[in-house]
Amino acid sequence: MNKRLKTIPKFKTEAAERRFWESRAKNSTEYVDWTKSQRAAFSRLRPSTQAISLRLPGTLLERIRAQANKLDVPYQSLMKIWLTEKVDEAAKPR
């Protein structure tokens, strides 16, 4: 049974396209035949993070690890959260 698919409209902006596909009134099956879809593998994507070397006093690192352990999160993730919070705080107008 071949269902006639609607033509995907042309969009002026990425935001307009996002609004179109995120609309609850839209059903992508009206525009795309998902029975012909294939799994995509993006094996050559690079991570969006950059490794750095940061020297910390051993006692500070142990305190960070202890706090991360209490919160049940990896210590490097906790450090990223704290750094983000401080940078955002510093960027706020006073």
| Structure confidence by residue, pLDDT tens digits, 41-92 | 888 888 788 899 999 999 999 999 999 999 999 999 999 999 999 999 999 8
- The pLDDT score that the predictor gives to residue 75 is 97
Contact 44, 33 (CB under 8 A): no
Question: What single letter denotes the amino acid at residue 53?
Answer: S
Which uninterrupted H or E stretch holds 15? helix 14-22
Cα separation of 10 and 17, whole Å?
8
Query: pTM of the entire structure?
Result: 0.51
Q: Which residue has the higher pLDDT, 43 or 24?
A: 43
